[in-house]
Amino acid sequence: MDVTARPEGADCRGVSEILSRVGDKWTIQVVVALRLGARRFNGLKREVGGISQQMLTRTLKVLERDGMIARTVHPSTPPQVEYTLTPLGHSLSETVRQLADWAAENRQNIEDHRLRYDADHA
């Protein structure tokens, strides 16, 4: 099914909801951290700098609910919980990387526009 065929799809809401996930400050950082392999809770907390454990908990729960990551509990003392990217999560990370590439390419350009805009509106 090609989205480009119809100008305004019925699932615009669903799409923009997913876009807002992508734009979320923590979601992407967690996904990126998991691209390299499985991580545990506090490992992620360390790797994703500046995140509170509550935000990490919430982010992980949302991602798990959406099927982007898998949560595996190894019953032991101390308890170990591993998070891994599902195929769907990997798929997302690839798509996001394209957007990130675009952002990296055009970052300087955008920055220049801002400086000029700010200068004109001083």
Partner DNA sequence: CGGAATCCGAGCAGATACTG
Partner DNA sequence: CAGTATCTGCTCGGATTCCG
Taking CB under 7 A as the binding criterion, the range among 10-18, 35-43, 93-101, 110-118 that sits at the site for DNA is: 35-43
Q: Does 66 bind DNA (CB under 7 A)?
A: no
Taking CB under 7 A as the binding criterion, the range among 9-17, 79-87, 94-102, 110-118 that sits at the site for DNA is: 79-87
Q: Does 72 bind DNA (CB under 7 A)?
A: no
Nearest to 85 by CA among 30, 17, 13, 26: 30
Q: Please tell me the distance from the alpha carbon of residue 82 to that of residue 70, in angstroms, as a whole number.
A: 8
Q: Please tell me the distance from the alpha carbon of residue 122 to that of residue 119, in angstroms, as a whole number.
A: 5
Nearest to 72 by CA among 99, 100, 103, 39: 39
92 binds, among its own copies, DNA, none (CB under 5 to 8 A by kind): its own copies
* 85: three-class secondary structure by DSSP: strand
Q: Does 51 bind DNA (CB under 7 A)?
A: yes
Q: Does 84 bind DNA (CB under 7 A)?
A: no
Please list every residue from 21 through 80 that binds its own copies, using CB under 8 A. Answer: 21-25, 28-29, 36, 46-47, 49, 64-67
Q: Please tell me the distance from the alpha carbon of residue 93 to that of residue 74, in angstroms, as a whole number.
A: 26
Q: Residue 69 phi/psi, 5° resolution?
A: -130, 160
For binding to DNA (CB under 7 A), which residues are involved? 24-25, 40-43, 50-55, 57-58, 60-61, 71, 78-81
